[in-house]
Structure 1
Amino acid sequence: MTITTRLATFEDIPFLQQLIGASVRGLSTAYNTPNQIESAIKYIFGIDTQLIIDGTYYVAQVGDAIVGCGGWSKRNTLYGGDQHKEVEDPLLDPATDAARIRAFFVHPDWARKGIGKHIMQVCENAAKENGFTSFQLGATLPGVPLYEVMGYRPLEHIEQPLPDGEVLPIVKMYKAS
């Protein structure tokens, strides 16, 4: 199986939104309640269009099928799509700040087949090419095992409150290259 990546485009957004929903609904059931899952899809998970504008968001394909997505950022936002971000998203300083690893989703049919690792390697390499030497991310519980295998260590456990009263557990994680 050959996994390829390419930069995401605005034309990909409708398909990626479907992929994100399928990923969260399919891979989070052992970690989150149905209400947490639906609330997180509504209020947190989604496309951060700034990543597409910055050229730091990728889609992973096997043949013509898009099977996953993920990116990195040189901006301060740690997690969340457009619906969750602060209006201002300042640039990070690669000399002192960690690049943000962002918005990783794999279709459940393709889980545990190396898709996430592949996208992670693409993102880390691109961030290094842009001067970053460390990485930070906000992981949902289903992603923690992948990130630990990739060398990330937990820094903090966050209980992210959502507007409808649900709470989403997030693990802030860090890796130095």
Structure 2
Amino acid sequence: MAPGYPPGALSQALPFMMRANPALLRSGRFYAVETAEGALIGCGGWSLERPDAPQDPVDPTLGHVRHFATHPDWVRRGVGAALIERCVADARSGGVRRLECYASLVAQTFYQSQGFRLLAPFDVRVGASIVIPSLRMMRDPL
């Protein structure tokens, strides 16, 4: 994410952004990719709940891509694409017809390569006072 954000913004935001989300981890909709040696090289998942408003009623046809990350040594080697396709397949089988994501500024090209289109810039609020410029993107139909 460093190329898209000032260092001060990331140093403040990353401790909040990197926290595990217990509900997502328990959901059965969060995946990890490991090497044959067991090294974690990627992760990501999806939910029906909106990441910015988990208490809101869900739309069963709209899923939300969540907490995607690929180890820097493994970027552009198919890890993220494999995770997206797993999420798409699972979401589709669950009746989801569209996937939304809040992408970092540097992830736009990746998500576009996976069939997402840009909807609008979007500010993600992290903690009480940190704002991270992001992009709201959509993939439809699944």
Q: TM-score, normalization: structure 2?
A: 0.88
Structure-2 separation of matches of 1:159 and 1:122: 27
Structure-2 separation of matches of 1:137 and 1:164: 22
Superposed structure 1 runs of 4+ greater than 4 Å apart: 161-166
1:123 is paired with a residue whose SS is helix
What are the ranges of 5 or more consecutive residues in structure 2 without an aligned counterpart? none
Q: TM-score, normalization: structure 1?
A: 0.72
Share of identical aligned residues, percent? 25
Structure-2 separation of matches of 1:75 and 1:161: 17
Structure-2 separation of matches of 1:159 and 1:34: 17
* 1:143-163 alpha-carbon deviations (Å, 9 max, x no partner): 111100011011110233445
RMSD of equivalent CA atoms = 1.9
Q: CA deviation at 1:93?
A: 3.0
Structure-2 separation of matches of 1:166 and 1:77: 16
Q: CA deviation at 1:43?
A: 2.7
Q: How many residues align?
A: 140
Output aligned runs, 1:1-177, within 5 Å. Answer: 28-63=1-36, 64-77=38-51, 89-90=55-56, 92-94=58-60, 97-163=61-127, 165-176=129-140, 177=142
* 1:110-134 alpha-carbon deviations (Å, 9 max, x no partner): 1111110011101111111111011
Structure-2 separation of matches of 1:29 and 1:74: 29
Question: Is contact 1:67–1:106 with CA below 8 Å preserved after alignment?
Answer: yes
